[in-house]
């Protein structure tokens, strides 16, 4: 089912009543999620991504704006009439019920004609359990299951009613690193198999990038960028998005543009045709540095970390934000690095410049 | 290691000594008293050892009356007070304005003196030469006949006693239950809401199981508390409880020790041990049922 957010806004009164201004949790969100896609809502904590999820689920009513599922306006519908499945961050499995009873719980709430027979309920619950591969654990209580298994029960419970939309709130945050990798593949598989439109919230950019069809980067209740993971990574619209995506993170320098040439410190590092003169922030992805004895950009060399396939060159520079920067280079290119300093040539496609407000300044090739 | 052991015992000594002198020794003494037949506290002598004291107590009509009163009190007040406390806590939990005020009001009886409360109940229920009592005035207003709640029929007296007990034990239960209701993770309710769970079902299938450990705690302590009732009866019916037929088991023990018919520590000990046996049995049953509800 297609999900459309139209000028969706959520404001809370300030908790301190003396302050009259309202807290804006979600501001004028416009977003169209095509049917059958997996969308990652990404942002630092407090950016409004969970609020957005609650708005979609109906647990919180919006202050303004409209929400559509397909062509149906669901803005004023209570959550149970929207046909959504929601997986909570802590799973919210009922501790006194077994896995099977937990999965059957939503079905038992159905009334009248919609209510399946007892046998049918059990069949559907087992079917959902099979989908998430926990059909051998049905008699266990949540306490007797691992975090990953509980997570699967929670997903099965969300799916058993065959909702049109599946919402996942930080689905992997309670799992250990290994299980996280496994489970995110699992979520992807389940989403593919069911073809259900899925929105999941995360603060982990790697998680969002690895499984989403599209990611939505949010900050302070606003959507900053929407797009395919690779597009957003390659073409960030502003400094925040550039900094938020990517491990290791982007290196940011203070620089300036003078007659279509980019300067960091006193060095002329790159030609930037079309960019206006002025002070800028320069973001360079770690893979944007090419070690080159004749390179234009000189940095102090701290150390070279060898990671097998490639090496990570840790450097410093007076104009760098933060103490150390990190470049990733192929093992051959960095084999001869030694001494106090290192010279780089910059890849124009991996170098972004931003004005004082953080907005991207594009320059022609 | 051995040295440490000695030290550990040394540290424990004050507690052990205290418990030994004031708990273990008296407990053993109670058992000994209960087995000494014809014990005379003045001459500190007795005829023999046996179970006669228990037999006497179990055949004493006053004890049987006290046992009956106590059982009625337990059976009525524990479920009623727990149920009412649960209803009130649910109410308190679902209102926002004035919540704190109501919580304070409901907690007030807990910090009020039992005897003072007894006095208030007397004013409400007692018929004197000067007034009918507030409750009787109400009954008259609705066309009923006056009832003497304090010196009248047994059922009327029992009713007052139960009302009084419920009223006095409820604040603590409300306090505990509002606390445990508030501590149920909101996500469970949100999950239930997403799934369209009716309020009734949410209560039975989610709220109740979630607070059941606290509920069991309250029921067990409620049983024990009700079995040990005494001061409440005194507050309402005066010290001569046998005469008014409103004695409780603890009251019987007290009377045997110090009352008009006092001076019988052996009978008192036997009655106390019988009470202990009853409370112990019921608590064991309670704990066993509780296990089935644990998760």
Tokens 């030994």, residue located: B20
CB contact under 8 Å between B196 and A84, yes or no, is: no
B8-51 pLDDT per residue, tens: 899 999 999 999 999 999 999 899 888 888 777 667 777 778 88
Q: Which of A13-22, A114-123, A273-282, A311-320 has the lowest mean pLDDT?
A: A13-22
Distance CA A123, CA B69 (A): 54
pLDDT of residue B14: 94
pLDDT of residue B294: 63
E-strand spans in A124-266? 165-169, 197-202, 214-219, 222-227, 251-258, 261-264
B168-205 pLDDT per residue, tens: 899 999 999 999 998 999 999 999 998 888 889 999 99
CB pairs under 8 A between A and B: 57
- Dihedral, A162, A167, A173, A177 alpha carbons, nearest 10: 60
Please list, residue by residue across B72-99, b when 16 or more beta carbons sit within 10 angstroms of its beta carbon and e when fewer do. Answer: bbbebbbebbbeebbebbeebbeeeeee
pLDDT over 70 (residue B295): no
If you measure CA to CA, which chain B residue comes closest to A105?
B195
Domains of chain B: 1-35 (no CATH), 62-293 (1.10.3720.10)
CB contact under 8 Å between B190 and A88, yes or no, is: yes
CATH class for the domain made up of A3-243: alpha beta
Q: Nearest Cα to B109, choosing from B174, B194, B201?
A: B174
Rounded to a whole number of angstroms, the distance from the CA of B158 to the nearest CA of chain A is: 39
Rounded to a whole number of angstroms, the distance from the CA of B200 to the nearest CA of chain A is: 11
If you measure CA to CA, which chain B residue comes closest to A104?
B195
Measured between beta carbons, the chain B residues lying within 8 angstroms of A89 are: 187
Partner residue facing A80 (CB), from B185, B196, B293: B196
Measured between beta carbons, the chain A residues lying within 8 angstroms of B209 are: 94, 96
Residue A351, beta-bridge partner list: A284
Domain ranges of chain A: 3-243, 249-361
Q: Using an 8 Å Cβ cutoff, are A244 and A208 in contact?
A: no
If you measure CA to CA, which chain B residue comes closest to A92?
B188
Q: Nearest Cα to A54, choosing from B183, B200, B186, B198?
A: B186
Residue B293: pLDDT band (50, 70, 90) is low
The model's pTM is: 0.79
pLDDT of residue B262: 65
Expressed in angstroms, the distance from the first to the final Cα of chain B is 40
Interface test with A, best of B184, B190, B194 (most A CBs within 10 A): B194
**H or E, element range at B216:** helix B208-227
Distance CA B208, CA B22 (A): 40
Phi-psi region for residue B67, left (φ > 0), alpha (ψ -120 to 50) or beta? alpha
Q: Which of A13-22, A23-32, B53-62, B147-156 has the lowest mean pLDDT?
A: A13-22
Share of chain B above pLDDT 70, in %: 95
Tokens 């000494």, residue located: B36
pLDDT of residue B2: 67
Q: What's the ipTM?
A: 0.81
B55-75 pLDDT per residue, tens: 999 999 999 999 999 999 999
Rounded to a whole number of angstroms, the distance from the CA of B189 to the nearest CA of chain A is: 9
pLDDT over 70 (residue A133): yes
- Dihedral, B238, B244, B248, B250 alpha carbons, nearest 10: 50
- 3-state class (DSSP) for residue B265: helix
B259-291 pLDDT per residue, tens: 765 678 888 999 999 999 999 998 898 888 877
pLDDT over 90 (residue B76): yes
């Amino acid at each position: 089912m297609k999900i459309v957010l139209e000028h969706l806004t959520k404001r809370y009164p300030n908790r301190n009543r003396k302050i009259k201004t309202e807290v804006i949790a979600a501001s004028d969100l416009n977003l169209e999620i095509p049917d059958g896609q997996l969308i990652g809502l990404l942002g630092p904590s407090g950016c409004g991504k969970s609020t957005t999820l609650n708005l979609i689920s109906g647990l919180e009513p919006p202050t303004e704006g409209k929400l559509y599922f397909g062509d149906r306006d669901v803005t004023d519908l209570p959550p149970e009439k929207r046909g959504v499945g929601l997986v909570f961050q802590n799973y919210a499995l009922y501790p006194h019920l077994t896995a099977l009873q937990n999965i059957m719980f939503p079905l038992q709430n159905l009334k009248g004609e919609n209510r399946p027979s007892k046998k049918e309920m059990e069949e559907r619950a087992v079917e959902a359990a099979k989908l998430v591969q926990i059909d051998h654990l049905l008699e266990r209580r949540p306490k007797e299951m691992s975090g990953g298994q509980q997570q699967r029960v929670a997903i099965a419970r969300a799916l058993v009613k065959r909702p049109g939309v599946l919402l996942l709130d930080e689905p992997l945050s309670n799992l250990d690193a290994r299980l996280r990798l496994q489970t995110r593949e699992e979520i992807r598989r389940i989403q593919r198999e069911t073809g259900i439109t899925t929105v999941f919230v995360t603060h982990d950019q790697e998680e969002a990038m690895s499984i989403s069809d599209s990611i939505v980067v949010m900050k302070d209740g606003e959507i900053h960028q929407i797009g395919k993971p690779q597009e957003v990574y390659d073409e960030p619209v502003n400094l925040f998005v550039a900094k938020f995506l990517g491990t290791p993170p982007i290196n940011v320098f203070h620089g300036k543009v003078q007659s279509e040439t980019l300067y960091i410190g006193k060095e002329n590092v790159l030609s930037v045709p079309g960019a206006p003169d002025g002070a800028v922030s320069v973001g360079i992805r770690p893979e944007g540095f090419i070690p080159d004895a004749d390179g234009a950009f000189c940095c102090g060399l701290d150390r070279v970390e060898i990671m097998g396939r490639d090496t990570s060159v840790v450097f410093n520079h007076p104009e760098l934000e933060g103490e150390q920067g990190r470049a990733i280079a192929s093992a051959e290119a960095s084999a001869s690095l030694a001494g106090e300093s290192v010279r780089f040539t910059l890849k124009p496609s991996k170098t972004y410049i931003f004005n004082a407000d953080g907005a991207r300044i594009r320059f022609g090739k | 290691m051995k040295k440490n052991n000695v030290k550990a015992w040394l540290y424990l000594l004050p507690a052990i000594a205290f418990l030994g002198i004031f708990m273990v020794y008296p407990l053993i003494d109670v058992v000994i008293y209960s087995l000494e037949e014809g014990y005379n506290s003045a001459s500190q002598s007795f005829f023999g050892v046996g179970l006669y004291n228990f037999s006497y107590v179990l055949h004493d009509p006053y004890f049987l009356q006290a046992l009956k009163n106590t059982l009625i009190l337990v059976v009525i007040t524990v479920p009623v007070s727990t149920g009412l406390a649960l209803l009130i806590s649910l109410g308190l939990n679902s209102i926002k304005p004035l919540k704190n005020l109501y919580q304070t009001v409901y907690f007030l009886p807990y910090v009020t003196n039992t005897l003072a409360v007894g006095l208030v109940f007397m004013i409400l229920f007692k018929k004197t030469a000067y007034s009918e009592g507030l409750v009787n005035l109400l009954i008259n207003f609705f066309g009923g006949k006056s009832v003497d709640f304090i010196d009248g029929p047994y059922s009327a007296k029992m009713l007052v006693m139960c009302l009084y007990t419920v009223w006095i034990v409820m604040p603590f239960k409300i306090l505990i239950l509002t606390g445990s209701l508030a501590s149920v993770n909101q996500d469970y309710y949100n999950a239930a809401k997403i799934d369209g769970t009716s309020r009734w079902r949410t209560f039975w299938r989610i709220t109740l199981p979630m607070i059941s450990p606290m509920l069991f705690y309250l029921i067990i302590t409620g049983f024990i508390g009700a079995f040990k009732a005494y001061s409440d009866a005194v507050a309402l019916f005066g010290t001569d409880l046998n005469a008014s037929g409103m004695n409780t088991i603890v009251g019987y023990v007290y009377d045997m020790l110090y009352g008009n018919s006092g001076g019988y520590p052996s009978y008192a000990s036997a009655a106390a041990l019988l009470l202990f046996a009853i409370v112990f049995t019921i608590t064991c049953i309670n704990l066993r049922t509780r296990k089935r509800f644990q998760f």
